[in-house]
Amino acid sequence: MNNFIFENKTKVYFGKGCVGEYLPKIAAVHGDKVLFAYGGGSIKKNGVYEEVIAALEKAGKTIIEFPGIMENPTYKKVLEGTKLVKEKQVDWILAVGGGSVMDCSKAISMAAVSEKDVWDEYWAKKGVVDFEPMPLGVIVTASGTGSECNGGAVITNEEVMIKTDRDYPKCNPEFALMDPTYTYTVPTKQMVAGSFDILSHVMETYFSEPDEDNVSDDISEALMRGVITSLRAALVNPEDYTARSNLMWLSTMAENRIIKLGKKCDFECHQMEHQISAYTNCSHGCGLAVLHPVYYRHICQAGAKKFTRFAENVWKIPRNGRTDEEMAEAGVEALADFIREIGLPTTLREVGVEKKEDLKEIADSCYLVDGSYKKMTHEEILEIFLECF
């Protein structure tokens, strides 16, 4: 394994009823004024809004609502929230939603106390967060991103058409309340997209060096099998508590830094998806589903031994005399079959790319990462995009 330092400051309260039981106590030890940040209104239809308000009122808090955080949150929305925090002299932030609400709230927690333009200083480039952001807690309503237990925040700057992810440990929420029953109302399409996002996070970690025996790869295989099994069960019965709780914790486990320890990680597919999303505003998990099989067909021979292990240990494909190269391909095809089985899109047209001619500009805007079995060039990314079109 490569050397590492591990830290994760988020305290997790997991399980049915955790919000009503713990939020009043947690709120009691925080300041008077809380910014209650949420999305487009799903929490007003499923009872979560009332439960959160009741818990905050029980603790005697002054609630300042910040609704309307959109999917793929924009820097403009971050600035709007920051203005409200400053005007109302908010003490702490409670984000209630999926990755978009949590990410936007993390950026607000930084902008609330920083004198700098946070896009320029912390998203356009990797900055140094040498201050304490405003305290932030989260209540997760959709599984997928794992934002609840990391410092990651993905923000879209519409003016420059760039969607950038940064992970600052100081932005880890102080606490995360995770009630799996809150995810029962997530629309099927979003549940499937979020689950694929989990799978992608694990794969992007697993398919990178080192490849000798290591804890991370063993855990990753269990997580990938878990996503496949739990998603299939949740598709049959959306109110399957076991499946929903597994998906929720799988989501956290994939992105709480644990499986990344000692690994290089290859998040190139995420970089490609973020730029597709910056241009089309597509759902993150849907964009990933289109790109992954094609990207892996490009790189699997460079990491044939690992893709063989993936085929054998995740998809249970028997050897039957096949070479590593053939097994590697079979593993990627099993992934492609699964994507079709769960009904995710398979072309960029389906996620909103209208013209082939647009793909060059998008490909050129993608960030090239180190850590892949085969480092991409912008020309190869364009090739992949064209194959996906």
Start-to-end CA distance of the chain, whole Å, equals 38
The residue within the footprint of ligand NZQ, chosen from 74, 100, 271, 280 (CB under 6 A), is 100
Whole-angstrom distance, CA of residue 29 vs CA of residue 195: 34
Looking at 10, 190, 245, 275, which residue binds ligand NZQ (CB under 6 A)?
Answer: 190
165 contributes a contact to ligand NZQ by CB under 6 A: yes
Query: How many angstroms separate the CA atoms of 94 and 251, rounded?
Result: 20
Rounded to whole angstroms, how far apart are CA atoms 83 and 279? 27
Q: Out of 186, 228, 254, 330, which residue is the one contacting ligand NZQ (CB under 6 A)? A: 186
Residues numbered 237 to 266 that lie near ligand NZQ (CB under 6 A) are: 255
Residue in 81, 99, 303, 331 binding ligand NZQ, rule: CB under 6 A: 99
- The count of residues interacting with ligand NZQ (CB under 6 A) is 36
Task: Figure out which of the listed residues 82, 109, 141, 275 binds ligand NZQ, where binding follows CB under 6 A.
Answer: 141
95, 135 Cβ separation under 8 angstroms = no
Closest CB to ligand NZQ among residues 217, 255: 255
Taking contact as CB under 5 A, which single stretch among the options 129-137, 195-203, 232-240, 244-252 is the one that binds Zn ion? 195-203
CB 169 within 8 A of CB 153: no
**81 is a site residue for ligand NZQ (CB under 6 A):** no
Using CB under 6 A, which residues numbered 350 to 369 contact ligand NZQ?
A: none
We find the least distance from the C-beta atom of residue 197 to Zn ion, in angstroms, to be 4
Interface characters, 204-243, with ligand NZQ (x: CB under 6 A)? ----------------------------------------
Dihedral angle, C-alpha 325, 330, 331, 337, nearest 10 °: 160
> Does 197 sit near Zn ion (CB under 5 A)?
yes
Does 103 engage in binding with ligand NZQ (CB under 6 A)? yes
* CB atoms inside a 10 Å sphere around CB 300: 26
Smallest separation (angstroms) from ligand NZQ to the CB of 365: 15
Distance (Å, whole) CA 116 – CA 108: 12
- Give min distance, CB of 100 to Zn ion, in A: 12
Torsion over CA of 228, 278, 76 and 190, rounded to 10 degrees? -20
- Alpha-carbon span 129 to 151, nearest angstrom: 11
CB of 184 to ligand NZQ, least distance (A): 7
Give 233 or 302: the residue with its C-beta nearer to ligand NZQ.
Answer: 233
Stretch that binds ligand NZQ, among 151-159, 225-233, 238-246, 311-319 (CB under 6 A): 151-159
Q: How far apart are CA 282 and CA 329, in angstroms?
A: 28
d(CA 244, CA 181): 7
Q: x/- contact string, 78-117, with Zn ion (CB under 5 A)?
A: ----------------------------------------
Show the beta-strand stretches assigned E in the chain: 11-14, 33-38, 62-66, 92-97, 136-140, 152-157, 162-167, 175-178
Among the candidate windows 42-50, 220-228, 237-245, 371-379, which touches ligand NZQ by CB under 6 A? 42-50
Cis amide leading into 210 (omega within 30):
yes
Contacting ligand NZQ (CB under 6 A), which of 81, 133, 137, 144?
144
**147 touches ligand NZQ by CB under 6 A:** yes
CA distance 312 to 187: 32
Q: Counting contacts by CB under 6 A, is residue 180 touching ligand NZQ?
A: no
Residue 166's DSSP bridge partners are: 153
Nearer to Zn ion, 197 or 217 (CB): 197
Identity of the residue numbered 52? V
Interaction pattern, residues 269-308, with ligand NZQ; x per rule: CB under 6 A: -x-------------x------------------------
Those residues with Cβ within 8 angstroms of residue 178's Cβ, 6 or more apart along the chain or in another chain: 12, 13, 14, 15, 18, 139, 140, 148, 248, 249, 252
Amino acid 246 reads N
Which residues form the interface with ligand NZQ (CB under 6 A)? Answer: 39-43, 46, 71-72, 97-101, 103, 141-142, 144-147, 150, 152-154, 165, 182-183, 185-187, 190, 194, 197, 255, 270, 284
Which residues form the interface with Zn ion (CB under 5 A)? Answer: 197
